[in-house]
């Protein structure tokens, strides 16, 4: 009987380990840029990051952490994903503080334009599928499903939330479609090389954009955006870290500025600093040029990103006491990230148009 019990226990253990392994293999692709950002964050040495920048692609296409390090020695990691829902940021702060003790959080506010029906399955999975299995990941999933309850579109057809926890259910067809790579199978954990800044062909692409339409009007946020921002501010009230809210510059369309202005009012009324780059004066201060500094209407290329990074880095350096880690042991990867960035831009100039 004891042998049978032991064999059963060993069998159960093997099956459990196999399921854990398969659940890590059959998930969001290792080649996905959002997962690579999380992989890179998890590989950082403990307590070496001074600031964390949260947000959507308006964060990881705008701020270039290795340049900030090269100029001041500060270590800012951009933990952002495409379309990152604002309601996930408090849980991600908890995840950050498991291994890091940042002095500053930077939060992008562009998500204030969203409503529940504009949230997609991918927006959530880019975060939750990239997180390590933990209570924080479970909380992120639960918050996401609760927040999107009753939404139209994709979420109106979701009958089960199990595949958010067991990604094998969602991604098992990757074996059939042929996009499962050896890196996925070996759990290689391919990492972003630039501390969260995303480098693609678009990084060195130039596409002329229409000028932004600025306004001083105030219009109401969607109920979902209002709720997410209010709950985020409530959470921030209990933190010890300094916090900056930003809205990165782009070709703002008519009707969008009213929501941004309302979001800025909400944040400033709670006592937090906001840098809204979407006004004529800030655009000129940055020196942005619509003909050369963007790759589409919502994102800058490396030329615009360098201007944005330079301004924000100087602002942080003047207003917050972040340490200078240049030439300090244990921070060599930041200098390597700067070299990688410069080489990438140099090699990619051919893609400009």
Cα dist. 90→96, 143, 251 in Å?
10, 11, 29
Structure tokens at 26: 């059959």
What is the β-pairing status of strands 299-300 and 76-80? unpaired
| Diameter over CA atoms, the chain | 80
pLDDT higher than 60, residue 223: yes
For residues 184 and 30, the answer to whether their CB atoms sit within 8 Å is: yes
Give the burial string for 47-60 (b: 16+ CB within 10 Å, else e): ebbbbbbbbbbbbb
The better pLDDT of the pair 339, 173 is held by: 339
Rounded to whole angstroms, the Cα distance separating 255 from 250 reads 14
Cα dist. 74→79, 94, 326 in Å?
16, 22, 8
φ, ψ at 51 (rounded to 5°): -150, 150
pLDDT higher than 90, residue 180: no
pLDDT higher than 80, residue 181: no
* pLDDT score, position 159: 55
Whole-number average pLDDT of the chain: 90
What is the β-pairing status of strands 294-296 and 273-276? unpaired
pLDDT higher than 60, residue 19: yes
Tokens 């692709």, located at residue: 29
Task: Classify residue 132 by its DSSP letter.
Answer: P
Predicted confidence (pLDDT) per residue in 36-63, tens digit:
999 999 999 999 999 999 999 999 999 9
* pLDDT score, position 351: 42
What average pLDDT does the segment 179-189 reach?
75
Predicted confidence (pLDDT) per residue in 264-318, tens digit:
999 999 999 999 999 999 999 999 999 999 999 999 999 999 999 999 999 999 9
Rounded to whole angstroms, the Cα distance separating 325 from 332 reads 9
* pLDDT score, position 352: 43
Determine what percent of the chain is predicted with pLDDT higher than 90.
Answer: 71
Considering only CA atoms, which of 134, 47, 35, 136 is closest in space to residue 79?
A: 35
Render 18-61 in DSSP notation, one character per residue. Answer: HHHHHHHHSSS-TT-HHHHHHHHHHHSPTT--SEEEEESHHHHT
16-20, 87-91, 267-271, range with the lowest pLDDT: 16-20
124-138, 142-156, 245-259, range with the lowest pLDDT: 142-156
Residue 241 burial by CB count (10 A; 0-12/13-18/19+): exposed, middle or buried? Answer: middle
Question: Is it true that domain 2-351 has CATH number 3.40.640.10?
Answer: no
pLDDT higher than 90, residue 160: no
How many other C-beta atoms are found inside a 10 Å radius of the C-beta of residue 77?
25
Which long-range CB contacts under 8 A does 329-335 form with residues at least 24 apart?
Answer: 330/45, 330/48, 331/48, 331/69, 331/75, 334/65, 334/66, 334/69, 334/75, 334/195, 335/66, 335/69, 335/70
Tokens 């200098």, located at residue: 335
* pLDDT score, position 121: 86
């Amino acid at each position: 009987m004891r042998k049978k019990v032991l064999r059963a226990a060993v069998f159960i253990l093997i099956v459990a380990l196999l399921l854990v392994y398969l659940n890590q293999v059959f998930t969001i692709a290792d080649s996905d840029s959002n997962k690579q950002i999380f992989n890179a964050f998890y590989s950082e040495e403990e307590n070496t990051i001074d600031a964390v920048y949260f947000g959507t692609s308006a964060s990881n296409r705008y701020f270039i952490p290795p340049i900030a390090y090269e100029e001041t020695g500060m270590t800012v990691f951009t933990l952002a994903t495409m379309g990152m829902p604002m309601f996930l940021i408090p849980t991600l702060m908890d995840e950050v503080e498991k291994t890091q003790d940042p002095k500053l959080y930077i939060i992008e506010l562009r998500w204030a334009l969203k409503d529940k029906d504009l949230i997609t399955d991918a927006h959530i999975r880019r975060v939750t599928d990239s997180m390590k299995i933990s209570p924080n990941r479970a909380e992120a999933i639960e918050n996401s499903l609760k927040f999107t309850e009753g939404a139209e579109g994709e979420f109106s057809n979701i009958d089960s939330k199990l595949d958010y926890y067991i990604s094998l259910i969602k991604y098992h067809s990757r074996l059939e479609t042929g996009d499962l790579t050896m890196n996925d199978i070996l759990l290689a954990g391919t990492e972003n090389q630039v501390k969260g800044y995303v480098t693609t062909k678009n990084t060195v692409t130039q596409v002329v954009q229409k000028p932004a339409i600025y306004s001083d009007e105030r219009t109401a946020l969607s109920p979902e955006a209002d709720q997410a921002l209010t709950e985020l501010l409530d959470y921030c009230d209990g933190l010890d870290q300094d916090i900056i809210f930003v809205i990165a510059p782009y070709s703002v369309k008519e009707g969008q500025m009213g929501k941004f202005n309302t979001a800025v009012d909400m944040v400033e009324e709670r006592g937090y600093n906001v840098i809204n780059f979407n006004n004529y004066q800030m655009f000129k201060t940055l020196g942005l040029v619509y003909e050369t500094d963007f790759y589409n209407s919502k994102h800058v290329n490396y030329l615009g990103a360098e201007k944005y990074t330079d301004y924000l880095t100087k602002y942080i350096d003047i207003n917050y006491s972040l340490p200078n880690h240049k030439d300090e042991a244990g921070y060599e990867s930041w200098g390597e990230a700067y070299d990688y960035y410069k080489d990438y831009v140099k090699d990619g100039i051919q893609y400009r148009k």
